[in-house]
């Protein structure tokens, strides 16, 4: 049996108190009419049309994945097809995605098997019991210029990678002034056109962002697979980057594991993330967390209901 809950908190922006929550979340319990399948998704919109982009992806990705002929035999391929097709459909829609888009983290659970498709910098983290200790096992890896492979990939498309301080001439633009995401001082490396001050995205993959796409930003997901076990993997967290800005994967798992009720876990994660934001910043990001409790999974790979 899987128990789950989610919470989504609108960000606090002093200069825009009525700003919409640009995160979108979806859950399908009997995905595709199959009692053994569940689908979870978090879509983190950005830009002027970010809310519309996130809602579009939330509604479109699950439908496209389900309609893929590859889903039953090859979910990895099916996820790739779904993300690319969603990107194309968004491009053809009435939504202006030139400087707007959404990241996406989607999770398909089929019996004991878990498939996590990531586009951007939201995360899925599995709690895994190792030698009596509950450890965080990442099921996604952020797509940002902090990753050397992602940084070099967008550079091949002509992108400049600069922090805002570098762009404004406060730091040497010819040297890499950033280290790791954990040591980020609030000025991450961003993607810029060769001779212009756009798009300024701090991620290297997304759905939408047509101008950034010309600089190598892509909707191609990375898909990670894992196996669930009630004894070894009691907890799974899927969340937007607002949760992880000031909390490590391990801190997220430790906090979520304090509660048996996934609703209380989700509330605690969002509340703590919100508090940490305001300790450091004068604003908060939108913050969304899904917490899944894995109570029982059949040994033959079929989820028991």
pLDDT band for position 69 (cuts 50, 70, 90): very high
Beta-carbon contacts of residue 91 (< 8 Å; ≥ 6 apart): 97, 208, 210
pLDDT value of residue 182 = 77
Domain-embedded: residue 211 = no
Q: What is the mean pLDDT of residues 221-234?
A: 95
Q: What are phi and psi of 52, to 5 degrees?
A: -65, -40
Domain-embedded: residue 61 = yes
- pLDDT above 90 for 184: no
pLDDT per position as a tens digit, 138-149 = 999 999 999 999
The answer to which of 72-76, 107-111, 296-300 has the lowest mean pLDDT is 296-300
Q: What are phi and psi of 223, to 5 degrees?
A: -115, 125
Is there a single domain that holds both residue 132 and residue 162? no
Is there a single domain that holds both residue 85 and residue 187? no
Domain-embedded: residue 233 = yes
For tokens 């099921």, name the residue: 139
- pLDDT above 80 for 297: no
Is there a single domain that holds both residue 13 and residue 122? yes
Question: Is pTM beyond 0.85 here?
Answer: yes
Is there a single domain that holds both residue 70 and residue 135? yes
Domain-embedded: residue 249 = yes
Is there a single domain that holds both residue 80 and residue 107? yes
C-alpha distance from residue 116 to each of 7, 104, 146, 165, 207 (Å): 20, 10, 21, 35, 16
Domain-embedded: residue 302 = no
Is there a single domain that holds both residue 26 and residue 166? no
* Contact present, 64 and 85 (Cβ < 8 Å): yes
Using the Cα atoms of residue 38, residue 120, residue 8 and residue 246 in order, give the sign of their dihedral: positive
Domain-embedded: residue 47 = yes
pLDDT value of residue 130 = 94
Is there a single domain that holds both residue 78 and residue 223? yes
pLDDT value of residue 298 = 46
- pLDDT above 80 for 61: yes
Which stretches of 116-259 are DSSP H helices? Answer: 148-155, 164-167, 210-213, 241-244, 249-256
pLDDT value of residue 283 = 96
HSE, CB side, 13 Å, CA atoms: give it for residue 47. Answer: 27
Domain-embedded: residue 243 = yes
Domain-embedded: residue 300 = no
Is there a single domain that holds both residue 135 and residue 159? no
pLDDT value of residue 251 = 98
CATH number of the domain that residue 17 is part of = 3.60.40.10
Is there a single domain that holds both residue 159 and residue 122? no
Count: domains in the chain: 2
C-alpha distance from residue 262 to each of 2, 227, 239 (Å): 10, 20, 13
Instruction: Please give the structure tokens belonging to residue 232.
Output: 């070894």
pLDDT band for position 179 (cuts 50, 70, 90): confident
Is there a single domain that holds both residue 220 and residue 152? no
Which stretches of the chain are DSSP H helices? Answer: 50-67, 75-92, 148-155, 164-167, 210-213, 241-244, 249-256, 262-280
Is there a single domain that holds both residue 228 and residue 288? yes
pLDDT value of residue 304 = 36
pLDDT value of residue 299 = 45
Q: What are phi and psi of 87, to 5 degrees?
A: -60, -45
Is there a single domain that holds both residue 38 and residue 103? yes
- pLDDT above 60 for 17: yes
CA distance 260 to 252: 15
Nearest C-alpha neighbor of 255 from the set 137, 136, 138, 139: 136
Q: Which domain, by its residues, includes 25? A: 2-142+216-294
C-alpha distance from residue 270 to each of 151, 166, 287 (Å): 30, 33, 6
């Amino acid at each position: 049996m899987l128990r789950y809950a989610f919470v989504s908190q609108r960000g606090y922006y002093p200069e825009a108190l009525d700003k919409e929550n640009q995160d979108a979340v979806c859950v399908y319990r009997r995905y595709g009419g199959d009692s053994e399948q569940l689908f979870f998704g978090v879509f983190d919109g950005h830009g002027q049309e970010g809310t519309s982009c996130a809602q579009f992806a939330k509604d479109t990705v699950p439908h496209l994945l389900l309609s893929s002929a590859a889903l039953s035999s090859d979910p990895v391929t099916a996820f790739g097809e779904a993300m690319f097709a969603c990107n194309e459909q968004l491009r053809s829609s009435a939504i202006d995605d030139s400087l707007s888009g959404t990241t996406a983290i989607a999770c398909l659970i089929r019996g004991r098997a878990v498939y996590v498709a990531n586009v951007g910098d939201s995360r899925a983290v599995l709690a895994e019991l190792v030698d009596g200790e509950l450890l965080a096992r990442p099921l996604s890896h952020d797509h940002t210029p902090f990753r050397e492979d992602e940084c070099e990939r967008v550079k091949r498309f002509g992108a400049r990678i600069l922090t805002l301080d570098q762009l404004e001439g406060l730091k040497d633009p010819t040297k890499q002034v950033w280290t790791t995401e954990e040591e980020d001082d609030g000025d991450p490396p961003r993607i810029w056109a060769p001779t212009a001050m756009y798009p300024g995205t701090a991620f290297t993959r997304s759905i939408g962002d047509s101008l950034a796409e010309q600089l190598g930003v892509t909707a191609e997901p990375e898909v990670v697979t894992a196996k669930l076990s009630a004894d070894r993997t009691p907890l799974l967290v899927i969340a937007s980057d607002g949760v992880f800005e000031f909390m490590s994967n391990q801190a997220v798992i430790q906090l979520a594991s304090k509660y048996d009720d996934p609703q209380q876990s989700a509330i605690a994660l969002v509340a703590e993330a919100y508090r940490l934001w305001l300790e450091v910043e004068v604003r908060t990001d939108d913050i969304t967390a899904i917490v899944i409790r894995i109570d029982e999974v059949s040994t033959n790979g079929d989820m028991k209901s």
